[in-house]
Amino acid sequence: MKIDQQIKKALEKDLDNVKITFEEWNSLNEISTKTKSDNKLFPIFSILAAITVACILIFNSNVGIEDTEETKMDPQKENIKSSDAVIDPIDGKEELLDRVFNSINYYDTLEGGVEVSGEDYTLSTEFGLDLTKQKFYETSQTEVYDAYTVSDGKTLYTYTSDEGVLREEPLPYKQRNKNVKIEMEELVNANENIFNYRDDFPDALHSKLLIFPQELLVNLLIVNRDWSIEGFSEKKSGRDSVKIVGTVGNKEYDSFGIYFDRTTGLPLEYKLLKGQTIIKSVKYRSLSINQEINSKFFSKSYITEKVNGKGN
């Protein structure tokens, strides 16, 4: 069998594993054709063709290795579904503000548990949120009552044990708009509705105290300017965080500390203090971001099963 035929057979065998362009293949055929017209030069050109193939194989295999290495990303530098590119961690004050007040543009789903405690009360919440489908569920347990909230994308279902009535109503909030970006200059200079700058977020009862505390964040970070970044990268709920601390003129509390997710700007934990006394503490017990959520939780039956004691 001639050398050029051997080369062609070898190439056909490896075509599924090696990327060879149409131009490269034609150049090989041209070399083979020329050698048939000049038998004296055939051995030389066959050797050159073999070297060319070898170089192509080595180059393409190296490119494949480099591409594989580039896709190995840091878990904290995750590919957020709501973005076309990997998001760099927050590094400064302006970047923090921009990320925090646009946090819901940097994730599609959240699921977890929230703990809220004050001087004389505690409550715990389990929740799931899918902003791509306008669906939401929440179970809240307090010392006085239990509350359940579900959005199936069209209807909002609510139930509290003290009322004992399952209520239904159209969704009171708009469909999430990923194209909306809150500009800091506009927020700072807003004369009205500054505390509710977005109306496309679920009307959660308790978990919104941590997921999307609009009024609190505006008060502490925009109206009040006496705060600073204290540190980076402390783990909260398994995620790298940015910690800020500050003081504020408030009748209920005079200082605060907040941890934000360094990628999405999502609040992870905060404390409001009066002197050394913690007035309110809110934190996640568990948290997952951009993971699939069981669809059965986004239905009216989720509440009825909970009320009837069949739910987990």
Which domains are seen in the chain, by residue range? 3-70 (no CATH), 93-126+180-300 (2.50.20.10)
Which residue is associated with the tokens 């005079």? Answer: 254
Check: CB of residue 104 under 8 Å from CB of residue 201: yes
Residue 192: the pLDDT is 56
Confidence of residue 217 (pLDDT cuts 50, 70, 90): very high
Query: What are 205's two structure tokens?
Result: 């009862």
310: which 2 tokens? 């069949």
Alpha carbon distance 216, 220 (integer Å): 6
pLDDT at 179: 78
Residue 312 binned pLDDT confidence (cut-offs 50, 70, 90) = low
Task: Summarize pLDDT for 126-185 with one digit per residue, the tens.
Answer: 999 999 999 999 999 887 889 999 999 999 999 999 999 999 999 888 888 877 888 887
pLDDT (mean) for 221-241: 92
pLDDT for 87: 81
Label each residue of 241-307 as H, E or C.
EEEEEEECCCCCCCEEEEEEECCCCCEEEEEEEECCEEEEEEEEEEEEECCCCCHHHHCHHHHHHHH
Q: What is the average pLDDT across 271-300?
A: 95
Closest CA to 20 of 7, 2, 35, 33: 7
Q: What is the pLDDT of residue 181?
A: 87
Higher local confidence (pLDDT), 193 or 104: 104
Average pLDDT along the chain: 77
Mean pLDDT value of segment 58-69: 41
Residue 204, pLDDT above cutoff 50: yes
Mean pLDDT, rounded, for 220-228: 93
Least confident of 86-95, 117-126, 201-210, 244-253: 201-210
